[in-house]
Structure 1
Amino acid sequence: MINIRRILSRTFAAAAIAFAAVAGLSSCGAIKDDLPPCPEGVTLRFVFDYNMEFANAFPSQVDCLTLLVYDNEGKYVTSRTETSSVLADENWRMTVDLPAGKTYTFVAYGGLACHDASFHFVSQPADGSLRSLQVGMNADCIGADPGVNLHQFFYGNLDLAVPANATDYTEGTVYMMRDTNSIRILLQNLDGSPVKAEDFTFALTADNTLLSGADNAVIPAGTTTYFPWAVGQAGVGTVEDGTDAVLAFAEFSTSRLIAESGARLEITNAVSGEKVLSVPIVNYLLLLKSMQYENMGAQEYLDREHRWNVILFLDNGRWIDTRIIINDWIVRLNNAEL
């Protein structure tokens, strides 16, 4: 037997949904000319989960935001900047009014508009195109001795179409990545005796101070020398005879690290001038990836990780190149692979 009540209920429900849809459309100028124009543009969320925790850290890490908008031909359209506390709100969204019926490219930078930013636009975005957009490290950060603790710097981009028949803002998510790294080098004597930081000089060389706005690629600009922004001694417990183990440390702050690049770490005896070590630092950092994250690409690993602690062992002032410790993991060295 046909259930008349059920049929009527479904009919009324369908009619109600259809009416609501039409009412929604007719609440702005998409249907009638005498109504206010419909919102046109985008509502953007910003996420930074490209890290080793795989969790969104944007609200806690990004303290200023710059957004650039380009059309589908790469021509500059507009920009927005946000530096207030709303960035710490997980529910915050940035709304940008834009003409409908077009596709846009959004380029976002975190840490560029802050008063202590370490990077800058090479030229004003409004005067160029997406292809010409470049960001460079500030001159007072390049080759500074002592080094500079770089302000955290982030990058993200998104291509998003605003439909011609849109009756509300189009939603999108800009996924960010971090372009700055902290590398802490520690020297430890095998016999447990203290190591003095002033007995050594530390330097890291790399060509990574210029970045493309289109894809965040490193643009060759010449090798620069990073010097540590902090040096000193650190206690790490006791050795077998009960005495304190004291290590020397040097902490670097660098721009984006690139796999298969020529970045090198060099440590020199400050008294004799003898080279203690000169190694391809990125190759050494990637040794940890092969142990823990073998299914992750080398560049992805370098971009996700940003804090490195590397312990090197000395014997009578000479580096023992058989093992190192990276982020608390012991790595056995095979120089043939490096």
Structure 2
Amino acid sequence: MANKKFNSWIKNICMGWGFIMAGSMLSSCNDLMHDDLPPCDMGVDLQFKYDYNVQRADMFNDHVGGLSVFVYDEQGNFIARHDAYNDATSQPLKDPNYAMRINLEPGKYRFATFAFQKKYEDALAQPGAKFQIALPQQGDNITALHARLDREQGKVNNQSQPLDTLWQGLSNELVEVKDLQVTRHTIGLVRDTKQLTISLHQTDEPANINADDFSYQITNANGDISYDNSLLPDEELTYTPYYTWTTEFKDTEGNVKERTAHAALMFSRLIWHPAEENDKNAILTITNKTTGEEVARINLADFLAQGRGAFEARHYSEQEFLDREYDYKLDFFLQGNQWKYVQLSISILDWSKRIQRVDF
């Protein structure tokens, strides 16, 4: 019996030393006196996804080429910026398992993100209008973070270039970083730049139309995007095509039987407003440059939002659809100098909707 008590006493002593040694090893992770010891993993691994689209597929690795992540503390004060991007020698964002490791002390943090098709500074070096991030200084509040589209006296000068695609993302809640471990968190991105292709068809004289005969513009106060993807108060901006062209359809003898005029535009995020706030909606205007006559003036957000009918089972609201979809096509069928009806098409489906002009 005495031997059993003695053995139990020895066992407890050994276990006690084991706990002491383990505690010593844990504390030595941050012990600056032991540079030869491996560092402990701690901080946050940020992953990113872009599945807020009508495809409902994560296209982050295929579409995004550059990230700028801004780190804020629990009170919303700026701490640091971290970037990741693809280039000629390395393409980390194409890796499906990519995660951005950020070393942080224990605490609670928020992460705000703007993403592009390339490194942010490389995007700025390209011709055309750019979204300029108001880069924060140490201690700035998160509410000061925003991206503002270049303009010259209210006109977005694209210099015949499409806008570099802009995505925005924000951690939905405070992310807690704990001592001696890595926290994992995923940020979802929303695409804010949209593409619209306009095609004009003449019903009475199909061959009598040319893209150069018309001017095309979108007006909307939507060029300043906050950290949370809301639109900040802005002046009214004017967007014009970055490319126009005319296609021809010939018969077997080479005679032109029909022409179609085309214009491609890119613009910032659209917000859908109800009828009583129609003055806030984006307006698309098409004008005949020869006669000065307005061919079309439409509430663009309302027209494009009708594309949600292609996804009736999803029950998208107007705003959710406008934020998920990014590639639209409007075919205007003209009778004389007025549009008779419009065919709306969206990017991924063989789907279209005919919108008749009610006062024609």
Report TM bin, short chain. Answer: 0.7 to 0.9
What value does the CA root-mean-square deviation take over the aligned residues? 3.0
Query: Is 2:233 the partner of 1:220?
Result: yes
Query: Is 2:325 the partner of 1:305?
Result: yes
- Alpha-carbon offset, residue 143 of structure 1: 2.8
For structure 1, which runs of at least 5 residues remain unmatched after alignment?
Answer: 1-22
2:180 and 2:250 map into 1 onto residues whose CA distance is 64
2:303 and 2:30 map into 1 onto residues whose CA distance is 65
1:163 and 1:280 map into 2 onto residues whose CA distance is 46
- Alpha-carbon offset, residue 60 of structure 1: 1.2
1:264 and 1:250 map into 2 onto residues whose CA distance is 16
- Alpha-carbon offset, residue 38 of structure 1: 3.4
- Out of 70, 73, 81, the position equivalent to 1:71 is 73
Q: What is the aligned-residue identity percentage?
A: 26
- Alpha-carbon offset, residue 274 of structure 1: 0.7
Identify the residue that residue 110 of structure 2 maps to in structure 1: 105
Change (3 A) 1:290 1:125: farther
CA contact (8 A) 1:137 1:209 kept: yes
1:217 and 1:169 map into 2 onto residues whose CA distance is 31
Identify the residue that residue 127 of structure 2 maps to in structure 1: none
TM-score (norm 1): 0.82
Identify the residue that residue 14 of structure 2 maps to in structure 1: none
Counterpart of 1:57, as a letter, is M
Identify the residue that residue 10 of structure 2 maps to in structure 1: none
Identify the residue that residue 55 of structure 1 maps to in structure 2: 57
Counterpart of 2:282, as a letter, is A
- Out of 271, 282, 285, the position equivalent to 1:266 is 285
CA contact (8 A) 1:147 1:226 kept: no
1:181 and 1:32 map into 2 onto residues whose CA distance is 48
CA contact (8 A) 1:186 1:247 kept: yes
CA contact (8 A) 1:186 1:312 kept: yes
- Out of 74, 81, 91, the position equivalent to 2:83 is 81
1:193 and 1:279 map into 2 onto residues whose CA distance is 25
Identify the residue that residue 355 of structure 2 maps to in structure 1: 333
Change (3 A) 1:227 1:30: same
Identify the residue that residue 309 of structure 2 maps to in structure 1: 290
Identify the residue that residue 192 of structure 2 maps to in structure 1: 179
TM-score (norm 2): 0.77
CA-to-partner distance for each residue in 1:31-84, whole Å, 9 max, x for gaps?
997876632210011111111111111111111110000011000111101123
Counterpart of 1:81, as a letter, is D
CA-to-partner distance for each residue in 1:257-283, whole Å, 9 max, x for gaps?
111142100011110101111111111
Aligned residues: 309
1:187 and 1:32 map into 2 onto residues whose CA distance is 68
Select between 91-100 and 188-197 the one with higher mean Cα deviation: 188-197
Identify the residue that residue 176 of structure 2 maps to in structure 1: 162
Change (3 A) 1:163 1:89: closer
CA contact (8 A) 1:64 1:114 kept: no
Select between 74-83 and 131-140 the one with higher mean Cα deviation: 131-140
For structure 2, which runs of at least 5 residues remain unmatched after alignment?
Answer: 1-20, 125-129, 274-279
- Out of 131, 154, 176, the position equivalent to 2:143 is 131
Identify the residue that residue 3 of structure 1 maps to in structure 2: none
Counterpart of 2:301, as a letter, is V
- Out of 105, 114, 122, the position equivalent to 1:115 is 122
- SS at 1:288 equivalent: helix
- Out of 312, 317, 324, the position equivalent to 2:343 is 324
